[in-house]
Structure 1
């Protein structure tokens, strides 16, 4: 099973790009028409462009793949090379727990994985652009793996 926010992130990028072009166009038109109080308009446009640039740089594509025995998570910026991205892979039987929390602009997902040395490793991911259906698929997959691992856990 594969869950990804790739299409929505690309849509966000196109919208942000269009808004940045609109800001530059508005600044050029303001300069050419010699509109009074240009400084205020320029300051507002620069602040909008800085905000859009920060949001643009923080967008990440999140791909969750569950192949049965291995869970793979890829995280990359859409302008980066997709094949040389940050990838986390671990056996599904090592998933100990997970947590999902809704935030203002998306979801925070925390995975707790048990290493081969019996240490708990916590990884957190910030998800933007996930729909309710995609989130339900992710939750059901993680819950299924967690239940299997609890039932198969052997105490030494």
Structure 2
């Protein structure tokens, strides 16, 4: 099962590029220093947001959970996994909702019985996609808890 926020993030990136171009053209036609400085500051802010945008791909297959991250305008065929681990290492998960972002926290246990957590930003995922991720993780956690008892 593969779940991605590609369409949402790509649309946001296109809007940011369009706004940046409009702001850039408006600096060429406005000849007031203060307004030009504010417009250039807004362009810089849009550029920072644009370069921080990431497409997140959640994949559960073959006993492994894989998280891949890439920029929306990357044209590579193969995207190396950022995080990859066996599904039997997950002990619990939690969704954290903030006003601006949502994140998934995976609580895991290593082979050496050490506990740790991984936090994954879920910007641009729809409610249905988050529910699919939650249901897949619920089945994984319930299987792991049955095995450990």
Aligned equivalent of 2:108? 113
Number of residue pairs matched by the alignment: 148
Counterparts of 1:16 and 1:98, CA distance in 2: 33
Counterparts of 1:111 and 1:11, CA distance in 2: 28
- Aligned-residue offset at 1:127: 1.7
Aligned equivalent of 1:101? 96
Aligned equivalent of 2:126? 131
- Aligned-residue offset at 1:110: 1.0
Gaps of 5+ in 2: none
Q: Which has the larger radius of gyration?
A: 1
Counterparts of 1:42 and 1:97, CA distance in 2: 51
TM-score, structure 1 as length reference: 0.87
Aligned equivalent of 1:26? 26
Q: Deviations over 1:81-104 (max 9, x none)?
A: 462444322111111111111122
Counterparts of 2:4 and 2:46, CA distance in 1: 23
Counterparts of 1:84 and 1:71, CA distance in 2: 15
Aligned equivalent of 1:142? 137
1:87 aligns with 2:89: no
Q: Is the 8 A contact 1:106 1:130 kept in 2?
A: no
Classify the secondary structure of the residue corresponding to 1:17. Answer: helix
1:55 aligns with 2:49: yes
Q: Is the 8 A contact 1:76 1:85 kept in 2?
A: no
Change (3 A) 1:85 1:46: farther
TM-score, structure 2 as length reference: 0.91
Q: Is the 8 A contact 2:27 2:40 kept in 1?
A: no
Q: Deviations over 1:59-96 (max 9, x none)?
A: 11111111151111112223444624443221111111
Over the aligned positions, Cα root-mean-square deviation in angstroms equals 1.6
